[in-house]
Amino acid sequence: MMNSNEIKKLVEYYEDKILTNFETNFNELVLMDFYEGGFEDRIEDEFFYEEYFLRYEQGIIDLLLSIENKFEKETQNLKLRLIKLKRIIDNNLAKSIKANDNKDFRVKRKSQFLLNQKVDKEIFIELLHSKLIDNKLINIGINDFKKHFTLDWDSKIQWLGTELQLTNLIFLLIKDKYLESETETFRHKLVCTHFINKRGKDFKEKQLGAVFSEKKDTIANDDVIFKIMYEMSSKL
């Protein structure tokens, strides 16, 4: 069981995050989103409230419950300080509810396959799927594969090749203008959002960026990804 000093330190910690230095702490989250592609969007605080406040809400609730039966004057004061923080969280989360639908679209757009409007969507998707299947790079059915070009997909694609091949594929799809140029700003996030590796694990954006930057010039000219892109270009 925590003593009064430990409880007080926790209260001060949560006050720092929610009240005293809220602007600084909150700005760090917004800044991270900005550098990950959010620079193309308008910054609206409500979009970030849920992600930020949920980091601390449960801890505040648990602390309040743990001191429920303590009635010393100092502890009562700490309870009041904690419930004030809970009120701030709840009021801000209530504001974010109205923005949730827009937020879902905003987040998904920043990690979505944005096809060039000049590309025939149906032919492109079916051709890309068949080439990846033929070369044993994916094993997903066509209907589930198509969903990844909408906002209605619910499971990631298992990539059976190397991460360098996958990053190169996305790079070439952008370079050859099958995907909108906007995709360049979040192409590694695109991979992490839609794919898992052959071991069923998530990809990491920083690792993808480092691997592609360091090894892209070592990719053999006869690599299967170049072959796929060549074959697609002759049919699109």
User: What was the pLDDT predicted at 105?
Assistant: 47
Same domain, 132 and 30: no
The domain of 49 spans: 4-109
Question: Considering 77, 109, 141, which residue would you say is the last residue of a domain?
Answer: 109
Share of the chain above pLDDT 90, in %: 64
pTM here? 0.56
- Mean pLDDT of the residues in the chain: 89
Residue 54 pLDDT > 80 = yes
State the average pLDDT over residues 209-217: 90
User: What was the pLDDT predicted at 109?
Assistant: 58
Same domain, 105 and 143: no
| 35, 81 contact by CB (below 8 A) | no
Same domain, 97 and 148: no
| Domain-located, residue 9 | yes
| Domain-located, residue 28 | yes
Same domain, 131 and 214: yes
Question: Considering 109, 139, 154, which residue would you say is the last residue of a domain?
Answer: 109
| Domain-located, residue 133 | yes
Q: How far, in Å, CA of 147 to CA of 145, rounded?
A: 5
| Domain-located, residue 115 | no
Same domain, 100 and 145: no
State the average pLDDT over residues 44-68: 91
136-185 pLDDT tens trace: 999 999 999 999 988 778 899 999 999 999 999 999 999 999 998 888 88
Same domain, 60 and 125: no
**With bands split at pLDDT 50, 70 and 90, how would you rate the model's confidence at 38?**
low
Report how far apart, in Å, the C-alpha atoms of 176 and of each of 21, 78, 153, 171, 188 are: 47, 61, 25, 9, 17
Same domain, 74 and 147: no
Q: How far, in Å, CA of 4 to CA of 12, rounded?
A: 12
Share of the chain above pLDDT 70, in %: 92
Same domain, 104 and 130: no
User: How many domains in the chain?
Assistant: 2
Same domain, 136 and 105: no
Residue 99 pLDDT > 70 = no
Same domain, 200 and 125: yes
| Domain-located, residue 116 | no
Residue 101 pLDDT > 70 = no
